[in-house]
Amino acid sequence: MRRREEFRDNYATHKTEPVKKWLLRHPRFHLHFTPTSASWLNLVER
């Protein structure tokens, strides 16, 4: 099974306990967070 890399903004809901527990149960998924001061990296805000 291939690892899935996902990039997310630094929004707090992506770092809650339920999300952390889900990620532990699904090691295939690996989240990367954009820095707080880097909104220019977030394509949704463009």
Q: What is the pLDDT of residues 1-46, one digit of tens each?
A: 788 988 777 777 778 899 889 989 999 998 888 777 766 665 665 5
Return the H-helix or E-strand segment holding 22.
Answer: helix 17-25
Domain count, the chain: 1
Six token digits for residue 28: 């295939």
pTM, two decimal places: 0.61
> Three-state SS for 31?
strand
- Closest residue by Cα to residue 7 from 40, 43, 31: 31
Task: Look at residue 41 in the predicted model and tell me its pLDDT.
Answer: 60
Q: Whole domain around residue 29: which residue ranges?
A: 4-45
